Amino acid sequence: MTSTKKVTPKPKSELNAYKDGQCVFCGGHECDNINPCKWRKQIIGDDNYPEELVDKGLHHVQDLLDRTLIPFVLLGEVVYRITNNKSLGGIKEIEVGVFQKDLVRERLSSLKTEVGDITTDYGFGYKFDRIPIKIKIISRDHKFFDNPDKIFYKSGEYSIPNPIGDYLKVRQTI
């Protein structure tokens, strides 16, 4: 005689990062429920990435587009933070722009060889070590893209819109 025993799955336990009102990772000195510390973010995870990962992703994009001979400019939150001397930690994506006129067949073929067919609504997109990379195609003429400025960030030299203030005012529409 066999008995059937009904097994109920155990509920998933959530990682309680706070004990007695203090973070178990940093002792409560560097974080709270709204702004978790870097150690808690690494264990629990979220869509905000540490600065080291963003730096690696930025270097990867630069290397990829340099190898495929596609000139690009930094866009979005990355260019805002670099030009304002703020940390890149915590951003949600790396955004760069390439000009429609520079996307000739051979360069596109090289890009697809490197990262696969990555076509999206805005241009191209893929993930590098969990961080989303957006490569936007710039087809409209904007004065701040006519003569991009150069900026040094860590070990790289990047093109940015010029004047940067004009771009930052309208960056959500590009």
Domain CATH code at residue 152: 3.30.460.40
* Distance, CA of 140 to CA of 149 (rounded, Å): 19
More confident residue, 125 or 36: 125
Could you tell me the pTM of the whole model?
A: 0.67
Query: Which long-range contacts link 76-82 to residues 24+ away (Cβ below 8 Å)?
Result: 76/134, 76/171, 78/54, 79/160, 79/161, 79/164, 79/167, 79/168, 80/168, 80/171, 82/151, 82/153, 82/158, 82/160
pLDDT on residue 61: 92
- Say yes or no: 27 and 57 in one domain: no
Same domain, 134 and 112: yes
d(CA 139, CA 112): 20
- Does residue 73 sit in the same domain as residue 137? yes
Q: Are residues 116 and 89 in the same domain?
A: yes
* Residue 1 falls inside a structural domain: no
For a pLDDT cut of 70, what percent of the chain falls above it?
Answer: 71
What is the mean pLDDT of the segment spanning 19-25? 62
Tell whether 4 is covered by a domain: no
Reported as a single tens digit per residue, the pLDDT across 84-131 is 888 888 888 899 999 888 888 888 888 888 877 677 677 788 888 888
pLDDT at 12 > cutoff 60 = no
Which is it for strands 22-23 and 72-75: parallel, antiparallel or unpaired? Answer: unpaired
Q: Which amino acid is at 39?
A: W
